[in-house]
């Protein structure tokens, strides 16, 4: 069977001799070095507060969250940066820890039940 019978034309099926070149960093003429990724820098922080970045709840049931501004990656949107009182931040941290403990307890109960299922009740005597 030749190529004309199948309608398939076989050409350019040989691998290239050299691999294609990898993309490289090409600096701009007016900026010869890589630039720093921009970051929102808020104004002075009031005393007695903690600067945090807030995340709203996700569409798949993820809870709302927070991180301190210093540990958050670059390019944070300004509308998500808040200065919250230290007491409120400490409550949030405690609530997150309590929720983590709750999840661990639930997982332990489920795991224990999977390893030790409840006894199946007797169907009773035949009638």
Beta strands in the chain (DSSP E): 49-55, 65-68, 81-85
Section 90-105 average pLDDT: 94
pLDDT tens for 36-87 read 556 677 889 999 999 999 988 888 878 888 999 888 876 788 888 999 999 9
pLDDT recorded at residue 94? 96
8-state DSSP, 28: B
**Residue 53, strand partner residues:** 67, 81
pLDDT recorded at residue 61? 79
Percent over 70 (pLDDT), the chain: 67
Contact 52, 84 (CB under 8 A): yes
The whole-angstrom separation of Cα 117 and Cα 112 is 8
pLDDT over threshold 70, residue 24: no
Section 92-108 average pLDDT: 94
């Amino acid at each position: 069977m030749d190529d004309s019978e199948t309608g398939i034309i076989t050409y350019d099926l040989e691998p290239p001799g050299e691999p294609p070149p990898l993309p490289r960093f090409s600096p701009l003429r007016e900026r010869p070095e890589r630039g720093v990724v921009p970051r929102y820098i808020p104004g002075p922080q009031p005393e007695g507060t903690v600067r945090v970045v807030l995340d709203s709840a996700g569409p798949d049931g993820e809870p709302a969250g927070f991180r301190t501004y210093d540990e958050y990656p670059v390019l944070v949107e300004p509308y998500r940066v808040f200065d919250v009182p230290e007491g409120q931040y400490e409550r949030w941290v405690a609530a997150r820890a309590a929720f983590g403990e709750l999840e661990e307890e639930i997982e332990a109960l489920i795991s224990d039940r999977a390893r030790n299922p409840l006894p199946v009740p007797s169907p009773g005597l035949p009638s």
